[in-house]
Amino acid sequence: PRSSTADVPLPSLPRVPVLGSLLHLRSSLPLHLLFTQLAGECGPLFGLHVGPHRTLVVSGVGLARDVLLHKGRDFAGRPKMVTTELLSRGGKDIAFADYSPLWKSHRRLVHSSFALFGEGSNKLQTIVLEAAESLCSELQSCRGQCVDLSPILMRAVTNVVCRLVFNSSYHPHDPELQQVMDYNDGIVQTIARGGLVDTFPWLQIFPNKDLAKLRECVCIRDKLLSKKLEEHKLTFTPGEPRDLLDALLNGQRVSAGDITDDHVLMTAAEAFGAGVETTSTTLLWTVAFLLHHPQVQKRLHAELDEHVGRDRPPALSDRPNLPFLESVLCEVMRIRPVSPILIPHVAMQDTSLGGHAVSKGTRVLVNMWAIHHDPKHWDEPDLFLPERFLDATGKKITPPSFLPFGAGPRVCVGESLARIELFLFVSSLLQQFHFSVPPGASLPDLQGRYGVVLQPLRYSVTVSPRH
């Protein structure tokens, strides 16, 4: 019988002792672009060594579906890394925790808690619309001035997550809100640069400024969140969850005691971190692309005027009537995926991929950037063309090479929440405002900077109320 593994060797980058293939990864390009370039030479599956760690890079949608979906269980592990262990108290979260029965029930609990406030209920819509309304009135008050949207959007999405997780919200000038934004920024800055320590954990014995800062930020975060957790425990009524934290406490009660306070705390912290960073980044990319494509903004305004009007706020029930807006959001997530190489996956057992044997413990990086820009699947992949997500009759479609949230057992748990938020924020903003490049300023840079997420560089924008 034919063996299931191929005779052709896997294309691999050369390696040297200790460093592995790191010398070949020195580049001025961000990692997702470097990997895309290497895939052009080596093909959609190639191997390399990050220090001692055997790593596969997947750049084709078929292989990506094998990793995420068809063999999702085989590849559902996560690597242990110094920075993420610090962030999650040794993997007591969802995103950076390795696969285990406890992780599975923890993830299921988070999923069902989200569902309590998400899709099925109106609660999320009310929360987001309230935040969108105060965002819009803040923007109305700075009438036509040139602003940096980043902190303003960040505050708005922070308040959504805050309501969802703790059932509380912040006034724009609350010092605690500033503290949250500061520690979050500190974590984002340092976790992305943890690179070398994550590859060679023994480097921890040397003083490391980034690691020290990460520890400090995590400490501030945990103090703040522990306080909220204690308050919740005092006022919690079993069976009547007010928010995600209550739902988690409820789940903790009925679980056999294996979901600890640490798990609850780390889940809240992660919902906070993921909820804020990803959504605000996607909103900033959306506005940046609208500045580059005024005709797209014009068409969005026309669609909103026709199907929603100006006399009432947009609602989730408007979604089916606003296919162009939906296609713009998809095109933004295609062309600038906030997580261009997802989170590293790990083979949990010996398995195979694309006809090659893969041994347990191998890391797998799925280059979603390459998949979203693959010329075999996308016409003019570098152009911003929302129409590619519409069929001939103008109905919204989802091409198979579009996976901004991943897929399978590790798919984003916040996907429906994120989609709801993006829709309501963008429709509320465009119903009321016109975005333009400030006089004398240049268009925003569209390359972005890749840290833990792919962010646009800071830019300013003129926000004018529509007439």
Cα 5 from Cα 425, distance rounded (Å): 49
* Contact of residue 188 among ligand PLO, ligand HEM, none (CB under 5-8 Å per partner type): ligand PLO
**In the complex, least distance from residue 68 CB atom to ligand HEM, rounded to whole angstroms:** 6
Cβ closest to ligand HEM, residue 15 vs residue 337: 337
The residue among 231, 227, 262, 266 whose CA lies nearest residue 246 is 231
Cβ closest to ligand PLO, residue 58 vs residue 296: 58
Residues that bind ligand PLO (CB under 6 A): 95, 184, 187-188, 191, 270, 273-274, 277-278, 338-339, 343, 452-453
The residue among 33, 35, 75, 121 whose CA lies nearest residue 406 is 75
User: Does 162 belong to an annotated binding site?
Assistant: no
Place of tokens 């044997």: 357
**In the complex, least distance from residue 346 CB atom to ligand PLO, rounded to whole angstroms:** 15
Quick check: 349 and 360 in contact, CB under 8 A?
yes
32, 218, 269, 343: CA torsion to nearest 10: 20
**In the complex, least distance from residue 274 CB atom to ligand PLO, rounded to whole angstroms:** 4
* Contact of residue 410 among ligand HEM, ligand PLO, none (CB under 5-8 Å per partner type): ligand HEM
Phi, psi of 436 (to 5 degrees): -145, 165
**In the complex, least distance from residue 85 CB atom to ligand HEM, rounded to whole angstroms:** 15
* Contact of residue 304 among ligand HEM, ligand PLO, none (CB under 5-8 Å per partner type): none
**In the complex, least distance from residue 123 CB atom to ligand HEM, rounded to whole angstroms:** 15
The residue among 133, 118, 228 whose CA lies nearest residue 180 is 228
Cβ closest to ligand PLO, residue 184 vs residue 367: 184
Cβ closest to ligand HEM, residue 15 vs residue 378: 378
Cβ closest to ligand PLO, residue 157 vs residue 300: 157
Tell me the C-alpha to C-alpha distance, in Å, between residue 259 and each of 103, 243, 265, 368.
Answer: 9, 18, 10, 32
Nearest position to ligand HEM, beta carbon:
414
Cα 178 from Cα 17, distance rounded (Å): 46
**In the complex, least distance from residue 285 CB atom to ligand PLO, rounded to whole angstroms:** 13
Nearest position to ligand PLO, beta carbon:
273
Cβ closest to ligand HEM, residue 453 vs residue 463: 453
- Number of alpha helices (DSSP H) and beta strands (DSSP E) in the chain: 15, 11
**In the complex, least distance from residue 318 CB atom to ligand HEM, rounded to whole angstroms:** 20
Cβ closest to ligand PLO, residue 181 vs residue 441: 181
Cα 37 from Cα 370, distance rounded (Å): 9
Question: Within 13 Å, how many C-alpha atoms sit on residue 80's CB side?
Answer: 7
* Contact of residue 277 among ligand PLO, ligand HEM, none (CB under 5-8 Å per partner type): ligand PLO
**In the complex, least distance from residue 187 CB atom to ligand PLO, rounded to whole angstroms:** 4
**In the complex, least distance from residue 140 CB atom to ligand PLO, rounded to whole angstroms:** 30
Tell me the C-alpha to C-alpha distance, in Å, between residue 433 and each of 113, 295, 300.
Answer: 34, 15, 11
Question: Within 13 Å, how many C-alpha atoms sit on residue 293's CB side?
Answer: 19
* Contact of residue 452 among ligand HEM, ligand PLO, none (CB under 5-8 Å per partner type): ligand PLO
DSSP 144: T
* Contact of residue 184 among ligand PLO, ligand HEM, none (CB under 5-8 Å per partner type): ligand PLO
Residues that bind ligand HEM (CB under 6 A): 68, 94-95, 107, 270-271, 274-275, 278-279, 282, 333, 338-339, 342-343, 404-406, 410, 412-414, 417-418
Cα 365 from Cα 343, distance rounded (Å): 7
Helix (H, G, I), strand (E, B) or coil at 329: helix
* Contact of residue 224 among ligand HEM, ligand PLO, none (CB under 5-8 Å per partner type): none
Cβ closest to ligand HEM, residue 48 vs residue 128: 128
The residue among 21, 28, 58 whose CA lies nearest residue 449 is 28
DSSP string, 85-140: HHHTTTT-SSSSSPP-HHHHHHHHHHHHHHHHHSTTSSHHHHHHHHHHHHHHHHHH
* Contact of residue 275 among ligand HEM, ligand PLO, none (CB under 5-8 Å per partner type): ligand HEM
Cβ closest to ligand HEM, residue 181 vs residue 343: 343
Q: List the structure tokens of 216.
A: 């400090």
* Contact of residue 322 among ligand HEM, ligand PLO, none (CB under 5-8 Å per partner type): none
Q: What is the CA radius of gyration of the chain?
A: 23
Residues making up the annotated binding site for heme are 412
Q: Which residues are part of a known binding site?
A: 412
